[in-house]
Amino acid sequence: MPEWRTVTLGRQSLRVALWSGDAQATPLLFFNGIGASLEMLSPLAQALPGIPIIAFDIPGVGLSPARWLPYRLWNMARLAGRLLDHLGIGRVDVLGVSWGGTLAQQFALQNPRRCRRLVLAATAQGAWMVPGRLKVLRHFISPRRHNDAVHRERIAGEIYGGRARTDPQLMRSLHNCIKPTSRYGYLLQQLAVAGWCSVPWLPLLRQPTLILAGNDDPVVPLINARLMHKLIRRSHLHVFDDGHLFVLSQPEATAGVLQQFLRTGPTHG
């Protein structure tokens, strides 16, 4: 179980979760998907018992109060750095899932020395990505899938693909991990990535990078992971036979690939 804290940085309070691990291991800083609170990390965190993990609810999500004004990804990357300073943590590995993967890219760019290794899961390069179908993306306009369990189960296969198509119990098993989110907090996250694009500077990233993707992801088609793999020089691509939620539907398999990378890094780019 994590240690829960409330950390105040200037005018911003954050709900923070800390999972303990090997004192000699590099801590893993985790950025979650849009509208997703810290509870969504539980399956993967439990599969990584030896790795210290730091995560926080983005302002407006979970139990972190929203900001009054919109923010950009660079603001959140700087806030994450301030949190690490507050906790007395220096160098970290960084993992971002979906929306959190865009923030992870931004953090790695702004913190080339602090970010040792980078993991990008079910994510893309922003405005120049190859998008999913409109009938899928329309479900991401609002946070209804976070707030309405019946609606979430009905559309899960269509929007998440992979095991969500074939296993009706998957979403029910994750019920306790998916918490309601506010429309305003969700809107702030959408505005943070509006127009953002990492394509011009991905070749500048120094960190060894692991790109994780599903081969049946209706939200972020696999071609985006392949493009990031081409652009990030020290990168390795691992494809799961699954959809957008492979981190949740296959936490042990994800953890296995992740642990190997954090120990050794990619062997080829």
Q: Are 219 and 132 in contact (CB under 8 A)?
A: yes
**What is the distance between the alpha carbons of residues 242 and 231, in angstroms, rounded to a whole number?**
24
pLDDT (mean) for 114-122? 98
Q: Mean pLDDT score of the chain, rounded to an integer?
A: 95
How confident is the model at residue 153, as a pLDDT? 95
How confident is the model at residue 265, as a pLDDT? 54
pTM equals: 0.96
**What is the distance between the alpha carbons of residues 40 and 255, in angstroms, rounded to a whole number?**
15
How confident is the model at residue 259, as a pLDDT? 96
Handedness of CA 73, 248, 253, 246 (dihedral sign): negative
> Which entry of 37, 42, 64, 98 is annotated as an active-site residue?
98
How confident is the model at residue 1, as a pLDDT? 85
Provide the CA 37 distance to its chain's centre, in angstroms.
11
Q: In this structure, how many other beta carbons lie within 10 angstroms of the beta carbon of residue 113? A: 9
Element (H, E) at 77: helix 73-87
Using the predicted structure, report yes or no on whether residue 229 has a pLDDT greater than 60.
yes
3-state secondary structure of 56: strand
pLDDT (mean) for 192-208? 97
Active site residue 98: yes
Using the predicted structure, report yes or no on whether residue 268 has a pLDDT greater than 80.
no
What domains lie within the chain, and their CATH numbers? 3-263 (3.40.50.1820)
**What is the distance between the alpha carbons of residues 235 and 118, in angstroms, rounded to a whole number?**
9
How confident is the model at residue 269, as a pLDDT? 36
Q: Are 103 and 34 in contact (CB under 8 A)?
A: no
| Residues 6 or more apart in contact with residue 73 via CB below 8 angstroms | 102, 103, 106, 192, 193, 196
**What is the distance between the alpha carbons of residues 103 and 93, in angstroms, rounded to a whole number?**
13
Bridge partners, residue 17, by sequence: 4, 55
Element (H, E) at 19: strand 12-19
pLDDT digit string, tens, across residues 63-112: 999 999 999 999 999 999 999 999 999 999 999 999 999 999 999 999 99
pLDDT digit string, tens, across residues 129-176: 999 999 999 999 999 999 999 999 999 999 999 999 999 899 999 998
